[in-house]
Structure 1
């Protein structure tokens, strides 16, 4: 299977979004930040690809202006477009003054790579920039247009940078050190990190584990903070109920609002809450919905599955790996934790012998 960091990241964020984008091939509507980030990347590539003739700042700004073609992204909000356009001018001007020309030799810009992870799987992608620091040391630079700079731990654990490191090792066998840098061009701040050989091996295992989950996934929704900014809201089951006229669902809307209000005082009103919960669950099942909306918030249905495992067969699989002692009572939480550390083929073998013991539906209430 050939995949990319973006695909893996999308699956981890929301399996349903992954299905829409990478299996159903439904195009995500263009977004302002994606358009803006892509244009800034193109401008910086144009700048550095012409270092030999040292283009003036006004030529770079002119290139940016000619390629500013947001189409209908800003619609009638011309003030927002004006602000965003000027923000780009500020970023480019600041970058040009502080980072051009480059102090190091640029080896490649927009470098495409193909990275085998196993016999069956590979990752492809594009690295913004690769610099030569010294004979055996290179620096991988990835531009970000985010305003907020994340903490160092985020950079140290960043999967994208780890994949780039693996790709660099695959391309340049004689490189002894790879410096990994995220350059946040809006605040003009760089954060760097490195990876050990051991960490890169763990990253390979993490990627294979994710691919194993992907291949057996039911591609269910995963509600989170990114939902409100998702381009697939118009077809996502979580938003199916939101745009329906209130008069067509007046009764369930009242129950939704009451559920959200009562949830904050659950101890005092547990009996009434349970009555409403059952009614809403029945409604969700009947209407094939995963989320419903009231006037004050929304309610999402989640499912928890509890599995039984064949004790003897688990023992036969785990004993040769010296792992059976860790879960000898077949404690489900312990086994679930251990599964994440096992090779994908062992995970699949164990999943094949489990049986569904129970399936619990529960509701998550969220106020606007």
Structure 2
């Protein structure tokens, strides 16, 4: 059924939920346009609907909104939806781009009444710009300082009422004064396999992919609870189906494709398995420090800590202890090995005796 398997030399597909430039255009086409089209995050959708429709009914400007949670769960999509539901325009920027107060003042002064300003990774905004943002959020005003030294003067600049939507993957990095100025905060949760199946089906319809029921279930189950990863895997499986099969994404095709791209049944990619293999084979299951573990797999410590570790911990394969990282009994089993009695999650002898 599959042709030329021997000459396929893929290096695997990255399962990080951070978006790269090649994904942006496709992801934009797959974004839901309205709250009714948004899949998952039922509690957040209900709360956001009340905030937006309540403001529209009163003729007021909605409160500022903060979305927090891991990347790839729909924070940017919801910000676009807010603008659509309000019937207004949206301006998009990111925290690292706002280094000086003048950068922020220029953007704020160009907002029309009712516009939405979306700041991604808002926890990375520079402190001087953040302090200017406080006054803009509360009083729709900024103070522009002209001149230096004793001759400097402050000129107040009135702003049109707007709604600020912030997104952050590290809510703990936000300063208290900034966090308190948001009228509505929402934490995005990872998706269930059933919700991801709906996401994959919707994306397949938009992309024109012949996706069968069992194929959708298989892709959803390996997507690490993240819609962005689910859409990425769908596109890679589509490539495999068109080149090596008849174009239909069935269970058999999905499994064969994901094997080529080094994505196993738990959603682990090459780097995830390299971390577990090094932890178990080189360090006897740990504990071991994150920097030592990163050197063992040839990656930066930040990559292992921010890309691999969150999912491995959530999947119950890795435990963080004061002495370092430890492989759990589930990790030993997943790698086809028998866990030692000291591995977290292993049955204890005294319990077995009872």
Q: TM-score, normalised by structure 2?
A: 0.27
Q: Which has the higher strand share?
A: 1
